[in-house]
Amino acid sequence: MLGIQLQREATEITHLDTDHQSYEPSHQKRMRLPRLVWNGVLLFVTAWAAVWIPYRLAFAPREIPLSGSLDGILTLVWVADLALCLFAPVFAGDRSSLVVGKIDRRMRSTITSSWRWLFDLLAIVPWGRVTGLPVLDLLRLVKLVRLESMLRMRHRGNVLRRTLFRLGIFSFWLALLVHWLALGWAAHEVAVSAWVADGAYIKALYWCITTLTTVGYGDITPITEAGMLYSMLVMVLGVGVYGYVIGNVANVLSKIDTVKATYQSSLDRLAGFFRYRNIPVSLQHRVFDYYDHLYEKRIWYDESTVLADLPPSIRQELSFILRRDLVTKVPFLQEATQALIRDLCSKLRPEVYTPRDIIFQAGSQGRHMFFIGHGFVDIIADDDETLLERLGEGDFFGEIALLHVRPRSATARAVGYCDLYVLDRESFEQVIGRYPDFAAYVRDVAETRYPRTVRYRRN
């Protein structure tokens, strides 16, 4: 037992060091809120700069802001962001350089040598104040490259959330493009016509939207050759933007719920098959109810298929996270090491049972144990009437089948739809065969806690 305990502690200490793709969950959880707050501040400040700097140049091209202006806030925030990226990548959201809560120096070198730091430095310097040329402040907008990469990194989650997030990003960039084009037209009109600066932006915004959407009422027209060239450029751009907007919005809306589309397509195929083969109506209803259960529980995509598409290291890590709470509840597995639990979790096979399905019958040969992910299971005596126990989510049964080869002493029946994980005796023996100390411990448990003469004990 001492050897098992020492092995378990050593595995827990060294596991993350041996797996370069694993990170310390507690550290991530601790830094999640500050990182989200900082990213929110950075996104707001960068978006504000993208709006304000061009606006100031359009209507006050020769004005250089004082040292106490809002430009100072930009500099302070972006200096802090660069420092966090270089010296605290965990806080800044760069998890690629985190291994067991420590900064990998080689990864830090990669970050500092990448092209991103050049954009950060260009954005930090207040070029208008340094050179006396306010137009050079446009160089600070290269920070938008970092903004775009941050938005792309957060482009994850379920289908609906990811789609809505994409739609939000697209709307932001479209609004920013309209803003910039309107400022270009306003600056030109203020310089060459009788427009006054106070109302020029609204007029320019109106002209820009009507032109981009290919409406073009003609109430605002260019009067110079430069204005005509600018108008033609916006018109050509408007044709592309219009087509891009329509295509992307349609694409986004079509992908809002791909699971529902897959579900409906499968039901249509099944209905046609049932009609062709004259399947009994009662059986059809059972099949359709089963698919309804899969759709409502959002497990339409088979868990085994999803895991099979992943690399072995990620597949084992994900299986461990999904199933470890179930496995560690088994009494004779509570002394197992983390490595052994990981191996067992990867051997579990998901199965779905419909209402009143018999999972196993009393008297049948037992070679599997079961873990309940969702639903309820009744354990019934061999007279098929007496209810011995009702098990629910997180419970397990049939574990004696892993320790002894013998007939089942009770019947297990699904109450409703049940999502179970199954572990067979062959896989169990294969796993513990790699851990001789634990295998010997299991044999002792089999003879002492689970004697062969036991009448019923969730077997």
Would you kindly state where each structural domain of the chain is located, as residue ranges?
20-154, 258-296, 313-448
Angle at 29 between CA 27 and CA 33, to 5 degrees: 115
DSSP-assigned beta bridge partners for residue 334: none
Return averaged pLDDT per consecutive 10 residues of the chain, 459 residues in all: 40 39 48 77 88 85 56 84 72 43 42 62 82 83 77 56 75 90 88 72 90 81 88 88 77 68 82 90 87 69 71 85 86 86 91 92 91 92 90 89 85 92 92 89 74 54
- Per-residue pLDDT at 427: 92
Yes or no: is domain 313-448 CATH 2.60.120.10?
yes
| 43, 138, 169, 366 from 143: Cα distances, Å | 10, 10, 16, 64
The residue length of the chain stands at: 459
Report the C-alpha gap between 94 and 88 in whole angstroms. Answer: 8
- Per-residue pLDDT at 10: 41
Q: Confirm if 316 and 342 have CB atoms less than 8 A apart.
A: yes
- Per-residue pLDDT at 4: 40
* Beta pairing, strands 418-424 & 396-397: unpaired
DSSP-assigned beta bridge partners for residue 129: none
Q: Confirm if 319 and 346 have CB atoms less than 8 A apart.
A: yes
Sign of CA dihedral 86, 92, 95, 96: negative
DSSP string, 91-129: HHT-GGGEETTEE-HHHHHHHHHSTHHHHHHHHHS-HHH
- Per-residue pLDDT at 39: 81
Contacts of 316 (CB under 8 A, 6+ apart): 342, 343, 345, 346
